[in-house]
Amino acid sequence: MDEGEILEISENPGSPCAIRNPAGLSKGRIEDNAYANALAQFDKAVSHLHLKHGVMDMLRCPKRELSVNFPVMMDSGDIRIFRGYRVHHSVVKGPTKGGIRYSPNVTLDEVRALAMWMTWKCALMNLPYGGAKGGVIVNPKELSTRELERLTRRYATEISVLMGPESDIPAPDVGTNPQVMAWIMDTYSMHRGFSVPAVVTGKPVEIGGSLGRTEATGRGVGFCILEALKLRGISPENATVAIQGFGNVGSVTARMAHELGMKVVAISSSKGGLYKPDGIDPRMVTRHLERGGSVTDFPGPDSISNEDLLTLDCDVVIAAAIENQITSQNADRIKARIVAEGANGPTTPEADEILDEKGAFIIPDILCNAGGVIVSYLEWVQDLQSFFWPVDEINRKLQYLMAKAFESVIEATKQFKVSNREAAQILAIQRISDAILIRGIYP
């Protein structure tokens, strides 16, 4: 989608941040746009707060955006130009934090939305960070390892004007992994002339990564699901779960759900899914992937499409792939009583309304998948102090912060009489607004 097409300044023309959806675009196209969705969520949440207009305008648009076009030498000797982004949404609470995505579908609007959600997520978790996100338009599976390394090192160099342990700390996201983080850390360190492990999180443990980081997001999702099941009066042993996306987040969540006695009836990757009513053992699928297989060629279960997986008759559906998966087109067919957002932005505002009407319990992304940024924060702290904690300590801190945030969101739903998502965003936005006003507007 062409970013320029979807958003325009129509209200309060004096402010460049008063962005509204243009009247001329069809609902479907706006619903496809993650940034338009993030803004619609923001508008809904702030309607319950008494924020200054200027503060609202400030929070509606990113603090800064960097677009880069850069060359990479391919193995064939050809030079290819790639496009990448790094967006900082807010720098009020501290350095910015947010993942880097490698995907052919990356757009500037997607990165803007993901950066905004990172601001809310860090604020909800009371972490001393602002929100950021980065992305490169590339299918990493089409590159050799050496090409991926050259692309990563060049992109890291291009965004190094923003990056740093005190200014902007990237982490993995869709299409990137600990090895990519290691190359970023090494590139930044080579430019500085000494090792700077705290410049990225989600690194391998051997170079300053934290124990428990790889599993952290999935563990946090699992923790939230347990709390939601408790509130809905369903015991884990009787719960059936369908999981869209069997990557870092989805596979860890699946294994945790299985260990807690839940029946994982369906899983999927971008190529399609597997369905088995009496349960799939996610540990076996993980082993199959480690041996070079893919989700869709795992022997045994029936095939299912990603679309049909979301509408299965089960207790919990976990959206752990990408944004805009539960929309006005399929929300009325969702049967699960609990929707856990392992992914960022998987449910559009239109779908939110339909699910709320049906009484589904949505665990919103900024709460549900915050385990990742929590342990990224713990990794950064450990790197800065050069003193590392055992995994039990990490998991204890993770659980404490998740539990506190979960409880505060449920309390806010009662206080403001709003959905879980609105409650989570209200808490986060209020904290950022308070911080802006306490700091004051420079000069």
Q: What amino acid positions are annotated as catalytic residues? A: 133
CB of 253 to ligand NAD, least distance (A): 9
Which positions ≥6 away from 47 have C-beta within 8 Å? none
- Choosing from 317, 322, 432, 436, the residue that interacts with ligand NAD (CB under 6 A) is 322
Q: What is the DSSP string of 168-179?
A: EEEEE-TT--HH
Residue closer to ligand NAD, measured from CB, 237 or 290:
290
Give the x-and-dash track for 248-287 against ligand NAD (CB under 6 A). Answer: xxx-----------------xxx-----------------
How is residue 203 written in tokens? 């690194």
Nearer to ligand NAD, 325 or 430 (CB): 325
364 binds ligand NAD (CB under 6 A): no
Query: Does residue 320 belong to the site contacting ligand NAD (CB under 6 A)?
Result: yes
Outline where 171-324 has alpha helix (H).
Answer: 178-192, 213-232, 248-259, 282-290, 306-310
Query: Does an H or E element contain 304, and which?
Result: strand 302-304
- Taking the complex as a whole, how short is the minimal distance between the CB of residue 380 and ligand NAD, in angstroms? 14
Q: What is the dihedral of CA 314, 315, 319, 324, to 10 degrees?
A: 80
In SS3 terms, 86-123 reads as EEECCCCCCCEEEEEEEECCCCHHHHHHHHHHHHHHHH
Residue from 98, 209, 222, 247 in contact with ligand NAD (CB under 6 A): 247
Q: Which two tokens stand for residue 196?
A: 């700077």
Minimum distance between the CB of residue 343 and ligand NAD, rounded to whole angstroms? 3
By CB under 6 A, is residue 170 in contact with ligand NAD? no
Q: What character string, x for contact with ligand NAD (CB under 6 A) and - otherwise, covers 183-222?
A: ----------------------------------x-----
CB of 220 to ligand NAD, least distance (A): 8
Looking at the chain, the number of H-run helices and the number of E-run strands are 16, 14
Residue 384, amino acid:
L
Q: How far is the CB of 375 from ligand NAD (least distance, A)?
A: 8
Amino acid (one-letter) located at 437: L
**Site for ligand NAD, rule CB under 6 A:** 172-175, 217, 244-250, 268-270, 306, 320-322, 342-344, 369, 372
